[in-house]
Amino acid sequence: MIKQKYRNLHEDSAKYKYFCRKKVMEFNELKHRVSSLIEKQDVNQDEKLRLICELLKAEVSHYDWVGFYFQNEDKEELILKAFAGEPTEHTIIPFGKGICGQVAVSNDNFLVDDVKAQNNYIACSIDVKSEIVIPLFVNGKNIGQIDIDSHTAKAFDKDDEDFLVWVNAEVSKKMF
Ligand code: SME
């Protein structure tokens, strides 16, 4: 289980550096589990995406909701295809709306330390304090995204970003 134990430590302290190294090692272990899940036979694409969501939510303590949205280009909206966590009413998100809709347009990773400070934000639950959205590219084209909510403020950092970029690249390479 990957935990955010280091958050209150000073960046120069040995303990902080130790926790950061440990977290990266644990993310590396989790990568192997994501890969074997993707390579499973007899499991369809939707089910694999759902299993990835379940795995990440179960193994990373600050991931409280994990979902994959995919683009419907004709309608310029995102459709929720797989998730783990509380069901959300936001299963369709127009391009440009909320953090997810902005990523559909910008093609950039979006890390939000404090969702309350965002004026273009769609609240899924009052418990959510921070969020990360990483676009998913297939042959260089943004076709969807992974969206993660946390009940902890400032939950996401570069390690999460690098890990999730890797997850999406792996999904793209082996599932599309
Ligand atoms: N908060 C997102 C909406 C999706 S939920 O987090 C599941 C947004 O602002 O786009």
Which pLDDT belongs to residue 31? 97
Give the C-alpha separation, 168 to 153, whole Å. Answer: 24
Q: Give the total number of structural domains in the chain.
A: 1
Structure tokens at 18: 């130790």
Q: Is residue 1 part of a domain?
A: no
Band of residue 153 on the pLDDT scale cut at 50, 70, 90: very high
Band of residue 5 on the pLDDT scale cut at 50, 70, 90: low
Which pLDDT belongs to residue 127? 96
- Least confident residue range of 21-35, 72-86, 89-103, 160-174: 21-35
Which pLDDT belongs to residue 6? 63
pLDDT tens digits for range 123-146: 989 999 999 999 999 999 999 999
Q: Is residue 2 part of a domain?
A: no
Q: Is residue 90 part of a domain?
A: yes
Mean pLDDT of 70-78: 98
Altogether, the residues listed in the chain come to a count of: 176
Q: Is residue 42 part of a domain?
A: yes
Q: Is residue 155 part of a domain?
A: yes
**What single-letter amino acid sits at 82?**
A
Q: Is residue 4 part of a domain?
A: no
Give the C-alpha separation, 72 to 77, whole Å. Answer: 5
Q: Is residue 3 part of a domain?
A: no
pLDDT tens digits for range 7-59: 677 777 888 888 888 888 899 999 999 999 999 999 999 999 999 999 999 99
Please give all residues whose beta carbon lies within 6 A of any atom in ligand 1, as ranges. Answer: 65, 67, 88, 90, 93, 98-101, 121-122, 124, 131, 147, 149
> Exposed (0-12), middle (13-18) or buried (19+): which is 142, by Cβ within 10 Å?
middle
Mean pLDDT of 149-165: 95
Measured in angstroms, how far is the CA atom of residue 30 from the centroid of ligand 1? Answer: 24
Segment holding 92, helix H or strand E: strand 92-94
Closest Cα to atom 3, ligand 1: which residue?
122
In order of 44, 104, 126, 138, 164, the CA distances from 168 in angstroms are 17, 15, 27, 9, 6
Measured in angstroms, how far is the CA atom of residue 123 from the centroid of ligand 1? Answer: 6
Q: Is residue 107 part of a domain?
A: yes
Measured in angstroms, how far is the CA atom of residue 98 from the centroid of ligand 1? Answer: 6
Which pLDDT belongs to residue 166? 98
Mean pLDDT of 59-85: 97
Structure tokens at 161: 């970003």
Mean pLDDT of 62-82: 98
Domain holding 127, by residue range, is 9-175
Give the C-alpha separation, 164 to 166, whole Å. Answer: 5
Which pLDDT belongs to residue 7? 65
pLDDT score of 122 more than 90: yes
Give the C-alpha separation, 7 to 5, whole Å. Answer: 6
Measured in angstroms, how far is the CA atom of residue 120 from the centroid of ligand 1? Answer: 10
Instruction: Find the CATH number of the domain harbouring 104.
Output: 3.30.450.40
C-alpha dihedral sign at 155, 141, 166, 68: positive
Which residue's entry shows tokens 């209150």? Answer: 8
